[in-house]
């Protein structure tokens, strides 16, 4: 009789997924089945519910650092109308992927491996293996990028000032800066992520929930600041050649005149890259804040009921993040003049009731994204190893702890991310 654990196709991988062998299976297939099943997670390791296992990591991955540092960039360059179009188009694209994930995850038993497991059991190991490998490497690269972004944000606040600025008070600028020091800072952050992921999914879920609370506390202060902070002039200093140029920008409070000025696009040169912005480049930045929808799916092997939690949790996260982005777009367009939006991408710090809140939010979001990609990549690698798609190379990655945590796969992933940081 067909059930949730029935294989979708007659191939040994699907028998492994269901935990049974077909009566007509050849002896050699049975041996492969037994070998592949070693190191699989015990059922009691599945402890995460929909909220902690899917909603929290997906929301954090979709927000990341974009919500704190690029909302003003998008509105300032593209204007409110085009920004709204970008947001809708981005979420339509994301929704198509979400619907596919929902369909696949409810079409049979879902084990560890997230997107790789679901694709390989639906389209076969050839597609699943290739896509799983690329998805694993993409998570490795993303983890390194998030960590380097966090290091850059830390050094921006606490890094030593250049020699030309020695006459200025150092304040909190005490961290030395060089290539080796940057690698040291990044490696230390990666080590923290490694220790959390080595303990297991439970401690990861608790840490993610703590970061989730911090990020939302920061978001609440940002929303409150739009109503509590009075209009003010915010000076912005820009380096033009050998001279410093001061520009006065305004936080106007709620004003229809400000909204009308921010309505249409006004593409110009980005002050951080000196490149001329276009619809395509701004949309690329905007779309980066809508990705991360697979963060919950990657935890499939640690969920109590993945076939229920993955579709429900992912849809909730997508709708929630869309509403938050939409609300911020409205508030920013009504209160901040274009010179401020285009001249200072961390303007939230300038208008916040307590500026350090925004800095804490940036750090927390970056750390969460790094942890999410590290643990997600390790789950994909463990699933690839269990299916014997790459032979003896990944055999050690089958090993798990007593609680079902694939600690060898975590170490493999950590090593690759470490190499990315050195490069």
What pLDDT, on a 0 to 100 scale, did the predictor assign at position 37? Answer: 41
Report whether pLDDT(51) > 60: yes
Strands 232-240 and 243-251: antiparallel
The whole-chain average pLDDT of the chain stands at 84
What pLDDT, on a 0 to 100 scale, did the predictor assign at position 3? Answer: 45
Report whether pLDDT(313) > 70: yes
Of the pLDDT bands very low, low, confident and very high (cuts 50, 70, 90), residue 171 is low
- Whether residue 231 contacts residue 335, with contact meaning beta carbons closer than 8 Å, is answered with no
Report whether pLDDT(21) > 50: no
Report whether pLDDT(285) > 50: yes
What pLDDT, on a 0 to 100 scale, did the predictor assign at position 403? Answer: 84
Report how far residue 293's alpha carbon sits from residue 97's, in angstroms, rounded to the nearest whole number.
Answer: 9
Question: Percentage of the chain with pLDDT > 90?
Answer: 48
- Whether residue 288 contacts residue 281, with contact meaning beta carbons closer than 8 Å, is answered with no
Supply 225's token pair.
């600041």
Report whether pLDDT(5) > 60: no
Report whether pLDDT(329) > 80: yes
R_g of the chain, CA atoms, integer Å: 24
Tell me how many degrees the CA angle 63-302-43 measures, rounded to the nearest 5: 170
Residue 391 backbone zone (phi > 0: left; psi -120 to 50: alpha; other: beta) = left
Kindly state the greatest CA–CA separation across the chain.
Answer: 81
H or E element in which residue 8 lies: none
Report how far residue 375's alpha carbon sits from residue 53's, in angstroms, rounded to the nearest whole number.
Answer: 12
Of the pLDDT bands very low, low, confident and very high (cuts 50, 70, 90), residue 162 is low
**What are the φ and ψ backbone dihedral angles of 53, each rounded to 5 degrees?**
-90, -25
Report how far residue 208's alpha carbon sits from residue 373's, in angstroms, rounded to the nearest whole number.
Answer: 12
Burial of 126: CB neighbours in 10 Å, binned 0-12, 13-18, 19+: exposed
Q: What's this model's pTM, rounded to 2 decimal places?
A: 0.82
pLDDT for 253-279, tens place per residue? 999 999 999 999 999 998 878 899 999
Report how far residue 84's alpha carbon sits from residue 111's, in angstroms, rounded to the nearest whole number.
Answer: 38
DSSP code per residue over 28-41? HHHHHHHHHHTTPP
| Cβ neighbours for 1, distance < 8 A, ≥ 6 positions apart | none
Q: Is 378 strand, coil or helix?
A: helix
- Residue whose tokens read 């297939």: 29
Higher pLDDT, 402 or 188: 188
Q: Is 175 strand, coil or helix?
A: strand
Report whether pLDDT(172) > 80: no
Higher pLDDT, 267 or 105: 267
Among candidates 21, 19, 24, which has minimal Cα distance to 5? 19
Higher pLDDT, 133 or 239: 133
Among candidates 262, 339, 338, which has minimal Cα distance to 80? 262
Cα–chain center distance at 160: 29
Report how far residue 342's alpha carbon sits from residue 77's, in angstroms, rounded to the nearest whole number.
Answer: 7
What pLDDT, on a 0 to 100 scale, did the predictor assign at position 33? Answer: 41
Q: What is the four-CA torsion angle of 278, 284, 285, 287, rounded to 10 degrees?
A: 130
pLDDT for 179-200, tens place per residue? 999 999 999 999 999 999 999 8
Report whether pLDDT(75) > 50: yes
H or E element in which residue 246 lies: strand 243-251
DSSP count for the chain of H helices, then E strands:
17, 2
**What are the φ and ψ backbone dihedral angles of 83, each rounded to 5 degrees?**
-65, -40
Of the pLDDT bands very low, low, confident and very high (cuts 50, 70, 90), residue 371 is very high
């Amino acid at each position: 009789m067909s059930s949730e654990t029935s294989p979708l196709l007659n191939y040994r991988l699907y028998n492994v997924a269901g935990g049974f062998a077909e009566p007509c299976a050849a002896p050699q297939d049975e041996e492969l089945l037994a070998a592949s099943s070693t190191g699989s997670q015990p059922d009691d390791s599945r402890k995460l519910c929909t909220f902690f296992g899917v909603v929290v990591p997906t929301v954090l991955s979709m927000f990341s650092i974009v919500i704190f540092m690029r909302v003003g960039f998008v509105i300032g360059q593209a204007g409110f109308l085009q920004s709204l179009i970008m947001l809708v188009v981005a979420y339509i694209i994301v929704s198509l992927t979400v619907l596919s994930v929902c369909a696949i995850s409810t079409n049979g038993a879902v084990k560890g491996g997230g997107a790789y497991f679901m694709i390989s059991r639906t389209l076969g190991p050839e597609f699943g293996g290739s896509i799983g490998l690329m998805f694993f490497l993409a998570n490795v690269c993303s983890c390194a990028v998030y960590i380097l972004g966090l290091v850059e944000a830390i050094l921006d606040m606490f890094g030593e000032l250049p020699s030309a600025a020695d006459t200025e008070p150092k304040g909190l600028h005490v961290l030395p800066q060089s290539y080796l020091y940057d690698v040291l800072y990044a490696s230390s952050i990666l080590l923290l992520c490694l220790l959390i992921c080595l303990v297991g999914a439970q401690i990861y879920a608790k840490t993610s929930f703590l970061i989730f609370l911090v990020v939302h506390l920061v978001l609440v202060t940002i929303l409150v600041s739009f109503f509590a902070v009075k209009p003010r002039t915010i000076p912005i200093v820009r380096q033009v050649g050998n001279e410093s140029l001061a520009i006065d920008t305004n936080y106007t409070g709620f004003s229809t005149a400000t909204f009308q000025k921010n309505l249409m696009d006004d593409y110009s040169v980005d002050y951080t890259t000196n490149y001329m912005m276009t619809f395509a480049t701004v949309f690329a930045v905007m779309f980066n804040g809508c990705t991360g929808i697979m963060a919950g799916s990657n935890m499939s092997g640690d969920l109590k009921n993945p076939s229920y939690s993955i579709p429900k949790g992912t849809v909730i996260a997508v709708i929630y993040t869309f509403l938050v982005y939409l609300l911020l777009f409205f508030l920013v367009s009504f209160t901040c003049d274009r010179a401020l939006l285009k001249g200072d991408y961390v303007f939230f710090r300038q208008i916040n009731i307590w500026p350090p809140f925004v800095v804490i939010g940036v750090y927390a979001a970056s750390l969460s994204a790094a942890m999410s990609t590290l643990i997600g990549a390790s789950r994909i690698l463990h699933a690839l190893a269990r299916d014997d798609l790459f032979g003896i190379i990944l055999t050690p990655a089958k090993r798990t702890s007593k609680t079902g945590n694939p600690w060898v796969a975590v170490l493999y992933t950590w090593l690759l991310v470490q190499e990315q940081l050195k490069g």
